[in-house]
Amino acid sequence: MSTIDEIRNRLDIVDIISESVKLRRSGKNYTGFCPFHANTRTPAFVVFPDSGSWRCFGECNEGGDLFQYVMKKEGVDFKEALKMLADRAGIQLEPLTPQKKERNERVDHLRKLLEEAIMFYRNQLINSEPGKLARTYLREKRGIKPETEEAWELGYAPKGWDAVLNYFKSKGYPISDIVEAGLLTERQDGKVYDRFRHRIMIPIRDMSGQMTGFGGRVLDPEDVPKFINSPQSILFDKSSILYGLDKARRAIRSENQAVIVEGYFDVIVVHQEGFQNVVSPMGTALTEIQIRMLKRFTRRLTLALDPDAAGQKATLKGLEVAREALDHNSDPIFDARGLIHYESRLQADLRVCTLPDELDPDEIVIQDPKLWEQIIQKAQPIIYHVLESLTEGQDLDDPKVKSTIAAQILPLVKDVANPIERDAYRQQIARILKIDERVLLDAASHSNRPRKYKKQSPHSEEQPAHTAKLEFNEQGKINMIERGILAYLLKKPESKYKINRFLRSNKLDQLTITDFSSSENQHIIQIIFDSLSQGDLDPLDFIAEKVEDETFLKELEQPEPSKSSEEELKNTDLRELEESARMIMQARQLSVNQQIRDFRFMQTSQEEEGNNDQGVIHQERLLDLIKKRGLLDHALSKPVIIQ
């Protein structure tokens, strides 16, 4: 994953633009007044969180990504904006050393191996005789439908000790790769065996949908442990992953709420029944990094903990553990103090709901979907939940009981950053314990309980995990196509002239910097254009100098072509040229379709608010986009032939 993508993953475009623009939520997007021109009547500036972009539909008619916003707002170039945002994200800009490039290639190779493992486990589930037991368990015991099983790519690991080993060896993979991918376990004597055996296999993907590892659930009740995951590796870091977030992120954004459950099957079944804003930290205590990931989509987080994890015993234990325990304790504990610390630090709204005894989320939602909705709606702030757990079954007339409860709950209130919330909590505690609020205030002022929270650093382990590429939504497709165009033009910059002649012959505009959507892609194409306009160096030498300076350009470097005849090379060059021209038109087509949707959103939003002062301008721009789309559709319907 590039440094630029890592910065995008760590920073929220809504948060950053909100610092200089007052934004108001409108559906899943945000609107406000454009900061780049005078306008106080109609909010025509829109931020699109899903694509990480912004656009002014007013006088400016400009738009772009997070980097382009900072460049325009601060009056800096791309390199300066990159440094500013890297500092903010806590990322140190480093050259793409051969070692780092090798590591990135290694990660990509292991991801491909894991993708192939999904197919192996799926085949075992669907087509093998032992897989029947797994299918029966999934459908009859867990209520998982065949289409859900397919959507979540569930599989089955055979009983044998070497089924995966033999499969991947037959595919030519060295044992070291299979071990590093987490599919084999190596003994002290050097022998290896399958890590997952006779288990339901659950692929685990990161926020962008990239494979990171597997979870395995036993089928034989005598086997232990019930669940095992892939080992910690360059791909898999459980504290930095939320299971299901790749599928839940859109629903979380649109519903402005994330529901956090404990297990894999809780996520899968609740999604299946229509509640798609649900994720899981996979049985571990919720970490700050996971809350930061969710905060990109919503500030409303609701914990729907299993009864055994959210009951009184676990609550009391959670009150006593130090913040550091989160890094070492793998048991699911409800750490109220740690969560309140996160809530204050990250300005999130964290709530907890209590599930009926003996029922897990997947069981509730299958039995009664409306009950699940009610439970989530009744979620309480953490302190109220803890207070309810502490007072349940207690004699609140006993002064010692009151004192014990107050001693446990007051440190939590002290951790709340908002003074109004602190005051409201104290009032509620005083009413429940039937004591004077001034007594609570006096007790709180004399509390000197030391704080044990770790100091966070930009390079601590609680930072978002790498996600190797963008989600394959429309914006992801555009970026992938743009990168293909750039990779070709970096090798053959003079081809720009032939491509422009072809575009003009189809009544299309010639290639410009605005054909590229992201700031880094615009920066790269500008280097290519500059290589052609300067006269001191050969264009390839000019680009080579810039490649040394701009480390992210190295990601686009292509391998040397294999030795071929002159005729074969000529034919290959022509195919690449024609494919690049087609990709330019495809990228424009996707971009125009996106702009048309954005314009229609702006029109609808302004009509609903009774503000459509620029309706005629919007209509003219919309018609212009539709005309461009027609020309592109016509050009793409024919073979691309460049003489």
Please report the DSSP string for 280-327 in residue order.
B-TTSPP-HHHHHHHHTT-SEEEEEE-HHHHSHHHHHHHHHS-GGGGG
Q: Cα–Cα distance between 365 and 355 in angstroms, integer? A: 11
**Of the options 3.40.50.261, 3.40.920.10, 3.40.1360.10, 3.30.2020.10, the CATH number for the domain spanning 245-392:** 3.40.1360.10
User: Does pLDDT of 622 surpass 70?
Assistant: yes
Give the pLDDT score at 546. Answer: 75
98-236 carries CATH number 3.40.50.300 = no
- The domain limits of the chain are 3-86, 98-236, 245-392, 474-636
Q: What is the pLDDT of residue 614?
A: 58
Torsion of CA 402, 407, 413, 419, to 10 degrees: 80
354 contacts 300 by C-beta, under 8 angstroms: no
pLDDT in tens, 504-518: 998 999 999 989 988
Q: pLDDT value at position 1? A: 53
Residue 435: pLDDT above 70?
yes
- Tell me: pLDDT of 5 over 90: no
Q: What are 10-56's pLDDT values in tens digits?
A: 888 988 999 999 998 887 788 999 998 887 777 889 998 878 899 99
420 phi, psi to nearest 5 deg: -65, -45
Structure tokens belonging to residue 403:
């004192």
- % of residues, the chain, pLDDT over 90: 37
What value does the mean pLDDT take over residues 471-492?
Answer: 77
Q: Average pLDDT, stretch 431-438?
A: 87
Q: Which residues contact 611 (CB under 8 A, 6 or more apart)?
A: 41, 42, 43
Strand 258-260 and strand 300-305: pairing? parallel
- The CA distance from 123 to 155, in Å, is 7
**pLDDT tens, 405-415?**
888 888 888 88
pTM over 0.85: no
3-state SS assignment for residue 259: strand
| DSSP helix/strand/coil, 45 | strand
Q: Which residue has the higher pLDDT, 345 or 450?
A: 345
Q: State the CB neighbour count (10 A cutoff) for residue 128.
A: 14
When pLDDT is cut at 50, 70 and 90, the band that residue 113 belongs to is very high
- For 546-565, letters b (16+ CB in 10 Å) and e give bbeebbbbbbbeeeeeeeee
* Mean pLDDT score across all residues of the chain: 82
Specify whether the CB–CB gap between 118 and 211 falls below 8 A.
Answer: yes
Cα–Cα dist 201/229, whole Å = 10
Q: What is the pLDDT of residue 442?
A: 75
Is 369 a residue whose pLDDT tops 90? yes
Strands 258-260 and 278-279 turn out to be parallel
Question: Above 50 in pLDDT, residue 320?
Answer: no
The residue that leads in pLDDT, 477 or 392, is: 392
Higher confidence at residue 196 or residue 460? 196
pLDDT > 50? residue 171: yes
Higher pLDDT: 477 or 473? It is 477
The model's pLDDT over 251-305, given as tens digits with 9 standing for 90+, comes to 998 888 999 998 899 999 999 999 999 999 986 678 878 888 888 788 889 998 7
Say if CB 542 and CB 530 are below 8 A apart.
Answer: yes
What was the pLDDT predicted at 474?
Answer: 62
Q: pLDDT tens across 543-594, in order?
A: 887 765 454 555 555 545 544 556 665 677 788 888 899 999 999 998 888 8
Q: 58-72, 145-159, 593-607 — which is least confidently predicted?
A: 593-607
CATH 3.40.50.700 fits 3-86, yes or no: no
What pLDDT is stored for residue 168 in this prediction? 97
Percent of the chain with pLDDT over 70: 83
Confidence of residue 84 (pLDDT cuts 50, 70, 90): very high
